[in-house]
Amino acid sequence: MKLSVARHPRLRLLAAGFLVALGAALAGCGDASGPGAAKSSFKAVDITGLDYGKSLKLSDPDGQVRSLADYAGKLVVVFFGYTQCPDVCPTTMAELAQVKKQLGADGDKLQAIFVTVDPERDSAELLKAYMASFDPAFVALRGTPGETQAVAQGFKVFYQKVPNKDGGEGYTLDHTAGAYVFDTQGRTRLFVRYGTPIEAWVADLRTLLAGG
């Protein structure tokens, strides 16, 4: 299976660690394109059975520690980013808001979680305002730099600071572009690449809600 990574000229969005780990896991499960292999009904990358997200335990903007268990019974989408991201992060969150709307009555069964990889600049207040600009029900989580690194490693998420080219004190962040989807029973199910059409998102989430 060949996986692509969304890239933008202003951000080197890399996912080498994720791709290597995922490739090895899929190889261990057999070649999905081989004879007699079951074809996934999903448009996103099916990662059912892989052990992601166990270390997700970070604070929300109100200071309450959250984990996946807090959202049992819902489809949970976890995305790693930062509020000063110029394009991929706001685009992804805006698309998730549209996905929720297109799910109609089932929209309340979708919980989006934004994990900041820039806790030094992303304060609780900033994260709360950032989420509210997309959907007040979306949740942002943050931790110390060490906690953030541990959680990112648990998801095989890559991120690193990139100094500004002008030599100033600011920086951007390279980071994995894509989101993880957990089903209503808290099981890892999908990795959705950046740039996936909203219609594909909705189709896959409806499949999961139907027990797929």
- Residue ranges at the known binding site: 85, 89, 175
Q: What residues form the annotated binding site for Cu cation?
A: 85, 89, 175
b/e sequence 58-83, b meaning 16+ C-beta within 10 Å: bbbbeeeebebeebeebbbbbbbbbb
At 111, list the tokens. Answer: 């919980």
Nearest to 22 by CA among 4, 8, 35: 4
Place of tokens 């989420």: 131
DSSP calls for 62-79: TS-EEEGGGGTTSEEEEE
CA nearest 210: which of 51, 38, 41? 41
Helices (H), the chain: 16-28, 88-102, 124-132, 145-154, 198-209
Q: How far is CA 114 from CA 32, 77, 89, 104, in A?
A: 30, 8, 9, 22
Identify which of 198, 189, 200 has the alpha carbon closest to the alpha carbon of residue 46: 189
The DSSP element (H or E) to which 110 belongs, if any, is strand 110-116
Handedness of CA 140, 156, 71, 95 (dihedral sign): positive
